[in-house]
Structure 1
């Protein structure tokens, strides 16, 4: 530590202002804290060895007007009543850590960190040093939310000309069981329905030929309007985005949501969790706005990310660590072991049954509430009757209550006298 704080109680007679007072009020006390420099002598010794500070002392001693703001007292240089220390002092990193990382600094921004430091010491280039230190702070980069526009301009899909040229695939989940399946894979060909193009001279019936010409013109206009609509959408969307270009070999922070199970969508104090995870190196550029990262071999997540989920790391590379929920190293697949309790949670007008699951290989403190229907679908071999550890050994205890019914009735008319 560079400094410590001395707290002195100061007495004050009478009640504090803006508080209810009494005639027999006693003596109140208020605490005044002031820093005590533990290595003040070493800082002054470094200043004596610094040629730049000694040159300023000599200049201020000879002509005071040439050094506005500076003052020499007992051969010690002050700037606006602050002690001037060497810009190469070995204690500057400790000072920055004390006023930014510890509870005193609380990872504040540049202005507050600068004001705390500027109230005590000064060195040449102090502003740029503090800015650089805060930009490279790993905790600030991982935990503070970004205040800039999301990266990545909108990339409209090209209008296909051939069948099966552009496909879209998606899974529809949460369906009622049908022959043991609850998920449907949907594959869609993005090309409009194919029709034969009209060739002049092949159709001898004039009315039919005219209809085919009108049809081809309508399809041409449709494609043109689709392109115009895409351009308008891109123009409006890009007003709230910014173009971000990254290079292969750079290090970036990744925004992830490390949920232990798919149905768990909230954690205690989730807003205090890190927004980004430690920097990973870019190894390939897949598309205009997608990049492939070098993730650990035990990672569960796909290594390709949209640029909006990436934030360029200011400092160099550090140890790449994923949250435990996304790391497969020595982490077997979770399987329900015991149902500790059940409850009904209200979802709109309905009640959803949930189970407090104790997972195999996990502590009881890591038990989580899961939807009963989700557990049955994900783990069909899990038997509730054999693995229930709640009072009554059933699945209908600890319920909130019966389903609440809303009954409406017409209000009686008020008879006039």
Structure 2
């Protein structure tokens, strides 16, 4: 809903947030089978689109409290039903991975361009690091790993979905490049060169964009970024102005 408002209203979308909030609070929710406003106040909100007689409520004291408690129990049951349904959908795609203490596993990381928005991820960028040894099992679906000193600032407990089993092969051993990670297990991709330059007109303003080629990515995976942001972060790319790749 918010995405549609932003696309439709452009830069003034924040001024219409109360309308979006009103529409959301009065929309039917499949998880609780009623609208959030009706769940909170016990009645639907009156609006010009759907008018109805509000009626009168004669509940007082214990009767009002009992009705509220009954509604809370009903909503909880419906939420549990919705959670169970979503869990059954997710379990169809999950694998029952179980590791033992001493096993070595790869750790899955998520690459991220440290710009104002997320860009297209490169196919050749590393997705896993390691291997790392399992030190302990925490609960049913989490494991504690032995991380190197370079990753000492990261909490060593990870969900099983982020781990991949490591199979030792002495004939294919090689030294993996060192990747700098942040606290969210993401790394910053480095811009290599400017491929193209383009001026786009947005309302009454002209914004200059540059097409950036990132390290470990192909020329087809280059992304368009705002020139002033790239120039502030990678000034050396603009020393030879007007020379771009073809």
Shorter-chain TM band: 0.3 to 0.5
Bigger Rg, which one: 1
Q: Could you say which structure has the higher helix fraction?
A: 2
